[in-house]
Structure 1
Amino acid sequence: MTDASLGTPAQLRDPDYTPALTKAVPLGIQHVLAMFVSNVTPAIIVAGVAGFGFGSDAGAQGFPDMTYLIQMSMLFAGIATLFQTIGSGPVGAGLPIVQGTSFAFIPIMIPLVAGKGVDG
């Protein structure tokens, strides 16, 4: 049986510890996939309610708008993750914490986007 641990408890507590590349790469890919799915899904939901993209009246004309929503959610999630990772003064923890969008705003955004605004 092989040892599947990432390191000793003392190594894992050390902020400067770097795991072996064979262990770091799969963990990095897992991070990227988790960030990608959790950021793209709310953008697709909002775009679908707004009438962009899949099965909407806009048809192919809606895809650039949906693509723009997805790109902006990924761009600002990346910027926020960099701020959190680099850490400067009171901004950022200096740890590899993935930042991104949330599903908490979806129940508010659906009626707003479907009704084309607050005033209806």
Structure 2
Amino acid sequence: MIGSILPDLNRVTLIVSNGTLETLLGIPFDLDALSTLGGAIILAGIGSMVVANQHRRMFAALFAGALSHLFIDGVKAYADGAAGMWLYPVSWARHPTPSLYVSSDPAVLTAAVLITVTVVTIDRYAIQTT
């Protein structure tokens, strides 16, 4: 679950602008690359170093979460009909998106909550562990 928020770490720019980061670091800087395949690999690698052991397992879990996030972002609606460059550094291409949903649509939130409640209910009450 933590891995799925990794691509959204570029939202730090809502608090601190890229210009402020450039001034502090003294170099051109942009956090938008975090919401790409390359950014997910780097962030999963950094996150896997935090645990004391099982680095590979942690990397796999974080990267799987980030990859699922990137896949879901790849099918949402964009104004120009093309997804972001989420495959970077493999490709700069922006593939056409099927425009399945708009992320700010309340129906998306409702569906996510219903799916979550269903999974939690099944996990707690329907699946009997020994």
TM-score, length of structure 2 as denominator length = 0.27
Higher-Rg member (1/2) = 1
TM-score, length of structure 1 as denominator length = 0.28
